[in-house]
Chain A
């Protein structure tokens, strides 16, 4: 097991190295470049040359890459220019990250809690009206642009009918901040109204964000259970006279859930991309929202820290999924 994790970590180092190279060249190729981004288009040639030298942009490319790596490791990405002018880009990431984690957590919770039982039910009653209906819902779920669904929910349930709040993470209640996970903070400080307010704000964005993971996890669960139900060992278990309960739990679900675990991990990593769109609609104040603004207004320092963070999170989640996979399925470790 330890050997597996070490090997897996070494592979991750390779991926991160290539990623950093890609990010470095991506940043250099962004239109306008760093100098124009800081000084604007109208700077005199002298000031431009001075800044070029100050930033070390006149040095050989591998020296620049080395310095870039050094800054990245120290979390020094410069100040934001447009999203929150003057604020340190890395601080923006740190303060906003909990908001996105909270949103993603609830979205994934909704998706998993609904998708796995429904996928299982669908497979057990394959080709029934329930099954066909759910398959259609899952296909439509993938075909709807996330930001449009988010808007529809917001318009119907927050603007037209005042069921849920329109935007933001919490009402203005003067809540104490501990971890910046607002639901958790309310529980920790016994300010339950804060938690309730945060939960109300969470409903619409997390439902919007949950649609795609729900559709994908549902379909994988359905397909996987269907496949396992046809396996010989299930028939053997039935012919041995085992109870339906044992067969479902031990033989069917345990085997069918392997690919589902993989899919859940993958969807977790991908949530961030959906969060960019959902957070923008609900003005959520997480890193997705900041990323959307950074793209729109071309705030390069915020862009680089957030893209690096997004890729890093994705890589780490993949690592965790692989390790959990190795724990569940011993065959993985030996290969």
Chain B
């Protein structure tokens, strides 16, 4: 836990987050809350009170919500089928390869004549899927490793953390590339796994830090004294208190995994099947026609930036709100 522990600086940063950004121990919360708030106001209730008035959070949450709603209703509002090449006969392989806007196709079509607007709208669905599933995979892996290390300690902790440290000693995007390269045939799932795998060690360290900080705290001691079983202590008393930083991190990972998936497509490691469009994939594929038709890249890129910004704003303001220090 000490910030001076050498080996790798990234892990110290993660540990700091685990220690400071909210969810911390009960004592911390009580001390901080005692300054100006009535007793009995939970961390979450007071965080929510602050978030409601925070414009940064409201903007981020609105963007994220719009994105999710768009993904859900996209099949019904897309003007055309995103997989059908309506304007295929207007694709000119030589001069200007990509059909421009025309009635019914306000943004024109892509290189095989599919309606660009419909592909952007429907693309929100796979993009959300990549973000959410990658975050869930990363979270699940990190939860298992983090609980093993943080709750049991001893040699389990040492072993798990060695592996985690090594994984953190590889630049994360490079690790994602390496894992994606293992797939014989890239699919949406292999992209998700590659993007999620690099998040596992981060979540693991974060959770371990939070759990370790609580092992000798009063509420855990009290639970043990009352004869609560070890399993219940970990899952009912320690874990809920450790979730704050994990939730913050998840929100941020939603953004990074969408951006990382785009980078994989850019390097040709993404999902080659584009019947179901995804923004990162559209952006990666658009590189072939980038000089003649830059708009093919610009539209999906703007969508990605907008959504990533939304998740990031939400995550950053959550981090601030859950930080017990900010109560003062």
Contact = CB atoms under 8 A, between A and B. Distances in A.
Interface of A: 4, 7-8, 11, 14-15, 18-19, 22, 26, 29-32, 139-140, 142-148, 151, 155, 159, 262-263, 265-266, 269-270, 272-274, 276-277, 280, 291-292, 295-296, 298, 303, 307, 310-311, 314-315, 318, 321-322, 325, 329, 331-332, 335
Nearest to A22: B166
Contact of B171 (A148, A262, A273, A332): A273
Nearest to B266: A147
Interface string B169-208: 1111110011001111000000000000000000000000
Contacts of A4: 6
Interface string B1-28: 0101111111011000000000000000
Q: Pick from A4, A159, A311 the residue with the most CB of B within 10 Å.
A: A311
B162 interface: yes
Contacts of A307: 174, 178
Nearest to B181: A295
A151 B290 CA distance: 9
A15 B164 CA distance: 10
B291 interface: yes
Given A266-B13, A332-B4, A18 B166 contact: yes
Contacts, number: 138
A273 B175 CA distance: 9
B178 A26 contact: yes
Interface of B: 2, 4-10, 12-13, 162-163, 165-166, 169-174, 177-178, 181-184, 255, 259, 262-263, 266-269, 280, 283, 287, 290-291, 294, 297, 301, 304-305, 308-309, 312-313, 316
Nearest to B300: A148
A151 B267 contact: no
B166 A145 contact: no
A331 B4 contact: yes
Contacts of A280: 266-267
Contacts of A19: 166, 169-170
Contact of A8 (B6, B174, B182, B313): B6
Contacts of B312: 139, 142-143
B4 A335 contact: yes
Nearest to B171: A273
* 5 A-B pairs with least C-beta separation: A273-B173, A143-B308, A31-B184, A273-B171, A332-B4
A145 B165 CA distance: 26
A310 B170 contact: yes
B14 to A, nearest CB: 11
A143 B294 contact: no
A303 B174 CA distance: 11
A32 B170 CA distance: 24
Nearest to A216: B13
A276 B173 contact: yes
Contact of A31 (B2, B183, B268, B313): B183
Contacts of A155: 290-291, 294
13 contacts: A18-B166, A32-B184, A139-B309, A140-B305, A143-B259, A148-B283, A273-B177, A277-B263, A291-B174, A296-B267, A311-B169, A315-B169, A335-B5
Contacts of B173: 270, 273-274, 276
Contacts of A31: 182-184
B174 A26 contact: no
B174 A273 contact: yes
A314 B171 contact: yes
Contact of A314 (B170, B263, B301): B170
B6 A11 contact: yes
A145 B178 contact: no
A19 to B, nearest CB: 6
B263 A15 contact: no
Given A22-B166, A143-B308, A265-B9, A295 B263 contact: no
A120 to B, nearest CB: 20
A4 B269 CA distance: 42
Contacts of A266: 9-10, 13
Nearest to A313: B171
Nearest to A317: B9
A29 B6 contact: no
B170 A143 contact: no
Given A139-B309, A139-B312, A322 B9 contact: yes
A332 B3 CA distance: 8
A151 B297 contact: yes
Contacts of A291: 174, 177
Given A30-B182, A269-B171, A273-B171, A146 B263 contact: yes
Contacts of A270: 171-173
A311 B305 contact: no
